[in-house]
Amino acid sequence: MNYRKTREEVLAELNTSSSGLSDHQRTENQKKYGINRLPEPEKDSLLKKFFDQLKDPLTLILIAAAIISLAADPHEWAESLIIVLVVVFNGILGVAQENSAEKSLEALKKLSSAKANVLKDGKRCSIDADQVSVGDILVVEAGDQIASDGRIIECWNLQVDESALTGESLPVNKHADVIDQKDVPLADQKNMVFAGTVCTYGRALVCVTSVGVHNEVGKIADMLIKTENEQTPLQVKLAQISKMIGGLCLLICGVVFVLELMSGLTLLDAFKTSVALAVAAIPEGLATVVTICLALGVSQMAKQNAVVRKLPAVETLGCCSVICSDKTGTLTQNRMTVKEVYTPESQRCSFDSEGSEDIRKMMAYFTLCSDGELFEENSELKLLGDPTETALVYASWIMKDKKEDLMKKYPRLNEIAFDSNRKLMSVFVQEKDNVLQITKGAPDVILSRCVKEDAEAAKVNGEMAKDALRVLGVAIKRYQKMPETIDTNLEYDLEFVGLAGMIDPPRPEVKDAIEKAQSGSIRTIMITGDHLITASAIAKNLGILQEHDLALTGSELSEMSEEELEQKLESISVIARVAPEQKVRIVNAWQKKGHVVAMTGDGVNDSPALKSADIGCAMGITGTDVAKQAAEMVLMDDNFATIISAVKQGRNIYDNIRKDVQFLLSSNIGEVLTIFCASVLNLFLGFQLGVPLLPIHLLWVNLITDSLPAFALGMERAEESIMQRSPRPKEESFFSHHLGWAIAWQGIMIGTLTLISYLIGNRVSYEVGMTMAFMTLAASQLVHAFNVKSEHSILNKTVFSNGYLWGSLVIGLSLQFLVIYLPPLSNLFSLTELSLSQMIVSIGLALCTVGISEIVKCLSK
């Protein structure tokens, strides 16, 4: 609690002086207190990232299938090789996407202040910021990024922008006095400065009290490293599917193995049949298809100014039901803007570039009495200085009064600097033959020092303050010549000119984005470090804070028990003046209620909540490096509306993955039933049918004629009504809404048609039967993809809406014909050429899937 200690106590405790440290002392202190660097998580090697990709349950099942296939017959190694290639391809794809995202984020990183000015034996010198040590005396000036936490020992009108750490949108006035209170919030420790914040005005000498991990920003970074990542909803669902497939696979393989032995087959032949069944049951292409579907979503999001660090993050947004958003820089522009003005002539009115002459004159006075700067660089306006003062300069600029032109017309002769105690600043400028004094500051102070009272101005000041505007007043005084003594006694007997009310305005696109979120039953919560009045006003303007909603402060939240918070949580829309741990508490509270929570933010103070949320969205332009590292997604344009686009994209991806799972599993069930039913017919009816499909046939179908349409289904466009749907519950089964039933009957349909084709061909020969079954199975799955693309009838113009699906049909059939009619391939696959009539029967049976599906869709309406 260095803020409670005097300057002398701090210097004595740290064994330093106002002259600073010597090089030897700095080296010794670095050994004692550590280096001034933030902790960073260890980066995984490419090999570890690759093996992490193999931990997916579906991938583990694929590896097991390869081992079983090789163990059954080492001579037939082709199946195992294909499986291994699929596993390696899927792993490389996932690693490549993660590395691509990391490189994009590296390019986004802003260079922090690499140097710090310190006193060394009483002389000012510049050193690397990471070499700053406890006991160093920092020399802080306007524009400097503060290198480490420290106690102010001397300051002159110091103002610091702490928005990245505390969420406070306005610069904080600092002082060097003792704060004799306990448990003072970070935002109110006015005699302390913190690493990563920026000095916007004035200067100071600061004694460094902590470095690196012990700084406030370091504590947050350390908290992020210790926070474990939870599985995304998609990962949970796919793990459930993997367990289900694995269990069914083992059960059915065991049953078929016994049946084959009972029918008289040798142990090796029965084992081969079981392996074929295992390969049939496992959707080898599913993991790859899901990865590519997510990668396509990531690619589309990148075009919409978002960088996704983890593939499943896009889908996670699809089931998002709560967005906890920071205010400053996320919902607002992080730039103070004059919104309303008051003059005795024009009264209270909205500010615009076409204001009356008295308003233009007032804004000119404000601009002359400010140190903010505005200049153009590469056709872009740049603002330099205190945000409040730059807002005034910008207001004059849009009224066609550039500050440099005003300064030429009214050259500054002298000034009385701003002081936080008297809350005023005055300048003296030459006005033709007179000297003009312009004084600006707190409206109540300005009004109290004017010759003539203006009751209406006092009333308007109160109204503007209630509307969360930051209000400044300006007054003038004329002299025939420059006063001999320039002091604060001149700031009396003033002539009141007017008031300017400023606010950090909402981003123009945010209100519409929040309305879209509400139409999709997504709740937006504002969590900010700013003042409650300001936050509430912005929230009402954006439609976040409704009539019966609650707006609380962090202190009020801390006083709530977990039970009380749970009861009131859904009525809380705004929480202001919050600490980082309180943001995490809110995120966790919503998660306990079963919601999928997205957290947006740009500051260091947002980082723990970004990581605790189901998906963290950091701002790419204004966001700090720590925030970007904690988030799953970085918004390159800092646009809140991009999040809603991501939600839409996520919902569509989830829909498409469900279609892929429906398509692939129904196809695999068809394969399993074909082999299983053949085994049953062999045992109980005395048929000598053999195995209808070999493992290599099933691998071909699963990896080629299944995967191509599955990729195409992953390209399906979002339905127009997708954002009008409520988010799916976090605990909702992947097979809800009759998906399990659809997979079952469609699998039975494909299996039955394939077995019929096999029985017809088997009357000619075993090879013809196997080839016809192979052709029917592949063609039926290529055609069945069209049935899966929509729950409604496809016999309309929407059947042509997905060109990729038609492409997969053409390519799939072409490859199928090559395998059957090209001798080297047909020999590898143990197939024979089919006659025209046999091919027509095979494809005709495959086309039956459309008619059957249309009948079921019609009956289910």
Residue 671 clears pLDDT 50, i.e. is over it:
yes
Q: pLDDT value at position 98?
A: 60
pLDDT band at 285 (very low <50, low <70, confident <90, very high): low
The tens digit of pLDDT for each residue in 172-227 reads 899 999 998 888 888 889 999 999 888 888 889 999 999 988 888 888 776 665 55
Q: pLDDT value at position 110?
A: 38
Instruction: Locate all alpha helices (DSSP H) within 34-162, ordered by sequence.
Output: 46-53, 57-72, 78-108
| C-alpha–C-alpha distance, residues 589 and 585, integer Å | 6
Instruction: Locate all alpha helices (DSSP H) within 350-477, ordered by sequence.
Output: 357-368, 387-398, 403-409, 443-448, 455-466
Instruction: Kindly tell me the number of DSSP H helices and DSSP E strands found in the chain.
Output: 31, 24
Q: Return the structure tokens found at 188.
A: 């109110």
CA distances from 284 to 54, 422, 815, 828 (A): 13, 75, 19, 20
For 212, the 3-state DSSP assignment is helix
For 432, the 3-state DSSP assignment is coil
The tens digit of pLDDT for each residue in 418-474 reads 877 788 999 999 998 899 999 999 999 999 999 998 999 999 999 998 888 999 999
| C-alpha–C-alpha distance, residues 140 and 158, integer Å | 9
Range name among 358-362, 373-377, 724-728, 824-828 with the lowest pLDDT average: 373-377
CA distances from 572 to 507, 546, 569, 598 (A): 22, 10, 5, 16
Q: pLDDT value at position 543?
A: 93
Percentage of the chain lying above the pLDDT 90 cut = 39
Q: pLDDT value at position 201?
A: 81
Residue 313 clears pLDDT 80, i.e. is over it:
no
Write out the H or E segment, with its range, that includes residue 615.
strand 615-619
| 106 φψ region: left (φ > 0), alpha (ψ -120 to 50), beta (else) | alpha
Q: Which one is catalytic: 56, 130, 161, 326?
A: 326
Q: pLDDT value at position 542?
A: 92
What does the CA dihedral 238, 244, 249, 254 come to, rounded to 10 degrees? Answer: 160
The tens digit of pLDDT for each residue in 463-476 reads 998 888 999 999 99
Residue 40 clears pLDDT 70, i.e. is over it:
no
| C-alpha–C-alpha distance, residues 592 and 587, integer Å | 9
Strand pairing class (306-308; 434-441): unpaired
What does the CA dihedral 366, 369, 374, 375 come to, rounded to 10 degrees? Answer: 120
Q: pLDDT value at position 107?
A: 44
Q: In whole numbers, what is the pLDDT of the chain averaged over residues?
A: 84
Q: Return the structure tokens found at 386.
A: 């205190």
What does the CA dihedral 555, 558, 563, 565 come to, rounded to 10 degrees? Answer: 50
Q: pLDDT value at position 491?
A: 95
| C-alpha–C-alpha distance, residues 714 and 717, integer Å | 9
Helices 766-788 and 803-821 pack at an angle, to 10 degrees, of 180
Range name among 524-538, 681-695, 805-819 with the lowest pLDDT average: 681-695
Instruction: Locate all alpha helices (DSSP H) within 73-202, ordered by sequence.
Output: 78-108, 163-166
Percentage of the chain lying above the pLDDT 70 cut = 86
| C-alpha–C-alpha distance, residues 63 and 86, integer Å | 10
| 8, HSE (Cβ side, Cα atoms, 13 Å) | 0
Q: Residue count of the chain, please give it.
A: 861
Q: pLDDT value at position 104?
A: 45
The DSSP secondary structure of 517-565, one letter per residue, reads HHHTT-EEEEE-SS-HHHHHHHHHHHT-S-TT-EEEEHHHHHHS-HHHH
Residue 375 clears pLDDT 50, i.e. is over it:
yes
The tens digit of pLDDT for each residue in 338-360 reads 999 999 999 999 998 888 999 99
State the average pLDDT over residues 481-486: 91
Instruction: Kindly state the DSSP code that residue 182 receives in the 8-state scheme.
Output: S
| C-alpha–C-alpha distance, residues 179 and 188, integer Å | 10
CA 757 to chain centre: 51
Identity of residue 686 = G
| C-alpha–C-alpha distance, residues 593 and 566, integer Å | 8
Burial class (CB in 10 A: 0-12, 13-18, 19+), 175: middle
Residues 236, 237, 243: CA angle, nearest 5 degrees = 90
| Annotation says 326 is catalytic | yes
**Residues with Cβ within 8 Å of residue 533, at least 6 apart in sequence:** 465, 466, 468
With contact defined as beta carbons under 8 Å apart, do 849 and 749 qualify?
A: yes
Write out the H or E segment, with its range, that includes residue 11.
helix 7-13
The tens digit of pLDDT for each residue in 756-814 reads 999 999 999 999 999 999 999 999 999 999 999 888 788 877 788 889 999 999 999 99
Q: pLDDT value at position 630?
A: 77
Q: Higher confidence at residue 56 or residue 505? A: 505
| C-alpha–C-alpha distance, residues 255 and 679, integer Å | 10
Q: pLDDT value at position 476?
A: 97
Residues 451, 457, 458: CA angle, nearest 5 degrees = 90
Range name among 282-286, 614-618, 628-632, 704-708 with the lowest pLDDT average: 282-286
Residue 113 clears pLDDT 50, i.e. is over it:
no
Q: pLDDT value at position 307?
A: 80
With contact defined as beta carbons under 8 Å apart, do 293 and 238 qualify?
A: no
**Residues with Cβ within 8 Å of residue 48, at least 6 apart in sequence:** none
The DSSP secondary structure of 661-693, one letter per residue, reads HHHHHHHHHHHHHHHHHHHHHHHHS------SS
Q: pLDDT value at position 586?
A: 94
Q: pLDDT value at position 112?
A: 34
With contact defined as beta carbons under 8 Å apart, do 151 and 136 qualify?
A: no
| C-alpha–C-alpha distance, residues 291 and 532, integer Å | 44
Residue 111 clears pLDDT 90, i.e. is over it:
no
Q: pLDDT value at position 218?
A: 82
Q: pLDDT value at position 72?
A: 64
Q: Return the structure tokens found at 317.
A: 């947004």
| Listed residue (72, 278, 256, 248) closest to 682, CA to CA | 256
| C-alpha–C-alpha distance, residues 784 and 790, integer Å | 11
Q: pLDDT value at position 556?
A: 93
Q: Return the structure tokens found at 36.
A: 């001034």
